[in-house]
Amino acid sequence: MIEKRMKRFAYICLVGIFILIGRLAQIQLIDTENFAKEQINLLEASVRQRTQQVVVDNGRGTFTDKNGISLSTEPLSVLILFPFLKEMDWDVERVANIIGTSREHLTEQLEKAKDPFVFRDDGPVVLDDWQVKEINALQIPGVFAVNKQFERPGQYASQLIGIVGENEEELKKRYPDRNFSNETVIGITGLEKSFDPFLIQEEQTKLLYHVDGKGGPLFGLDVKYINPSNPFYPIKIITTLDFPIQQKLEEIADDHRMNKGGIVLLDIESNTILANVSRPKIDEKDPYRNDGLVNYTLKPQYPGSIFKTVIAAASIDYKLITPSRTFDCSKTIHGEEDDVYDHGILTFQESFAVSCNNTFATLAEELAGIDPNVIETYGDAFGLIDEVGWKGDVFHFTDFTQLSDEEEGQIFLTDTEKTDAQLVRLVGIGQLNVKLTPLAVANMMATIGRGGTRYSVRTVDRIEYENGSKFFSFPMDEGEEAIRPYTAEKLRQLLREVVVNPQGTASALQDLPYEVAGKTGTAETGIFVDDGNEQFVNRWFAGFFPYNDPKYAFAVVQLDARKDSSSPISITRDIVEFLYEYDQH
């Protein structure tokens, strides 16, 4: 009996030993990189447990403006200290003197440290070249002056550039055939998302040392500097942005307390984005809060009278306009007396300058009577319905798009709207279901400014290797004639009349150093405040300048604004004055 129990116990022990051996084999030999259902990389976890490190450069590609100024990160020379210095006798006084701080301030931060850290005051203490050389010449283990990448402060073009983050599920979905660390960051929004296949990190540059269970040095005080030393990576994305312009337009938006809206500025010759501002800003602590990640220049909005530009173009081509034809601008679009705007009888040109609703509601109804699709056809010709960002083939990526967050605009939602006279009249003044993106509106103004040829909008000029050699260039497309040169010239004159006519809705811009041409717009949003006494509106101004030799096209929009909010006209004034001064240097 005892013998049977002993055999049974021995058998159980033997099975347990085999299970334990199998488990150890699974952990150490078989599933080392994808252990358990969580797919844990045991090799990485083991290394992390036995090392302390500072990542100097995470290896992800970066963005620069067109002149090479970094947009997403900036390299700073900083002092890095390792916590084992607390147990050493080292020349604290000498290091403190070199960086211009006190011994006490330096040791205070060190005493609190459990991991390697960047020495800080209000922010990272930035070192000069001579300070870097002096510190590293001391050759003190655990004391390093290095060039480290930091996120650029100030949030410039942050919604356009986008954010990155860790997402294991999305990482594996995007790159099923590549073996990335689960801690690899990927682009979540903006250009970071669009260009993620090129930007995704390969190897990190870091300082590290091995520790024992108590956090002490395992193999002495040998701190290793690991640098992939790859002359080609990480990749650099050279955008079309102009950093000083971007920086100033951000300041202008804040000066005018733009709570929600955006500014987009295009270079007409190259049809590229020079600056892109969106509000509200991204909350750095909680990026998903308050729509801070939304780039409102790429989202369709109610345009109001901005859309009258499209009606004007179609009316010119369909010869609905004659020098002698006049319109009753003391009436609303429903034929009633207008209690707010009583402009009397006006010509077509005068109607455009004062933005007479009845004129363009009438013309829209006449156009729909000729062809129910004509309004949509002209909107499409201007690129207001489809996405206008650059698309094309990039190596094995077919239909690659630079602006992955861009959305399409809309004019009519149903065919019924095209044949209902009252609904068409609302469409004629940019209401009902008309929604356009500020980028598409700015592109329409660029098309008019250059004489009728429409191009797609580029935000990135090229991709470069780390050593500066070219990886890929995004060519300007061949373009297509959106409207006839004759029509474009007539529209140019109409847009200028908005500014030079004393009664024009943008007459406040007459005295600027650059002659501006453009169109205002105020659109009802259907959102009421103050117990229904006031409705939020979208306030627009879009156009181009200088008038005789167009260089810039733009769109400024204040979304969900009150009547007493800062006017897009005032914002435009500041933009034009700045660019005039900027161009003189």
pLDDT tens sequence across 335-387? 899 888 899 999 999 999 999 999 999 999 999 999 999 999 999 999 999 99
- Res 233 pLDDT > 60: yes
Chain segment 463-522, per-residue pLDDT in tens: 999 888 999 999 999 999 999 999 999 999 999 999 999 999 999 999 999 999 999 999
- Res 240 pLDDT > 50: yes
Chain segment 517-551, per-residue pLDDT in tens: 999 999 988 888 777 778 899 999 999 999 999 99
Query: Where are the domain boundaries for CATH 3.90.1310 in the chain?
Result: 53-238
pTM of the model: 0.86
Angle at 243 between CA 435 and CA 291, to 5 degrees: 40
Is the pLDDT higher at 563 or at 39? 563
Q: Which of 571, 545, 431 is nearest to 492 (CA)?
A: 545
Q: Is the dihedral of CA 235, 240, 241, 245 positive or negative?
A: positive
Average pLDDT over residues 85-101: 89
Chain segment 169-202, per-residue pLDDT in tens: 999 999 998 888 777 889 999 999 999 999 987 6
H-helix or E-strand containing 264?
Answer: strand 261-267
pLDDT of residue 43: 41
Helices (H), 26-64: 42-49
From first CA to last CA, the distance across the chain in angstroms is: 103
Contact 239, 461 (CB under 8 A): yes
Parallel, antiparallel, or unpaired for β 236-239 and 62-64?
parallel
Average pLDDT over residues 47-67: 75
Residues found in the chain: 585
Angle at 551 between CA 550 and CA 553, to 5 degrees: 85
What CA–CA distance (Å, rounded) separates 115 from 112? Answer: 9
Close Cβ partners of 578 (under 8 Å, ≥ 6 residues apart): 245, 248, 252
Query: Where are the domain boundaries for CATH 3.40.710.10 in the chain?
Result: 243-583
Please check whether the domain covering 53-238 is classified as CATH 3.90.1310. Answer: yes
Is the pLDDT higher at 381 or at 11? 381
Q: Which of 8-17, 159-168, 240-249 has the highest mean pLDDT?
A: 240-249
Of 72, 194, 305, 565, the active-site residue reads 305
Average pLDDT over residues 563-567: 80
Close Cβ partners of 260 (under 8 Å, ≥ 6 residues apart): 279, 280, 291, 296, 558, 559, 560, 561
- Res 564 pLDDT > 60: yes
The backbone region for 159, taken as left when phi is positive above 0, alpha when psi lies in -120 to 50, beta otherwise, is alpha
- CATH fold for domain 243-583: Beta-lactamase (3.40.710)
pLDDT of residue 534: 84
Of 21-30, 201-210, 241-250, 545-554, minimum mean pLDDT range: 21-30
pLDDT of residue 229: 65
pLDDT of residue 48: 46
Chain segment 119-177, per-residue pLDDT in tens: 988 788 899 999 999 999 998 888 888 888 887 766 799 999 999 988 889 999 999 98
C-alpha pair distances (Å), 554 with each of 144, 187, 364: 47, 28, 25
Chain segment 379-435, per-residue pLDDT in tens: 999 999 999 999 999 988 989 999 999 999 999 999 999 999 999 999 999 999 999
Half-sphere exposure of 85 (CA within 13 A, CB side): 25
Tell me the two tokens of residue 455.
């191009």
Tell me the two tokens of residue 268.
């007409």
Q: Strand order of the sheet with strand 51-57?
A: 51-57, 205-210, 224-226
pLDDT above 70 as % of the chain:
86
H-helix or E-strand containing 68?
Answer: none
Q: Is 305 a known active-site residue?
A: yes
What CA–CA distance (Å, rounded) separates 583 from 577? Answer: 10
pLDDT of residue 224: 62
* pLDDT confidence bin for 223, thresholds 50/70/90: low
pLDDT of residue 146: 87
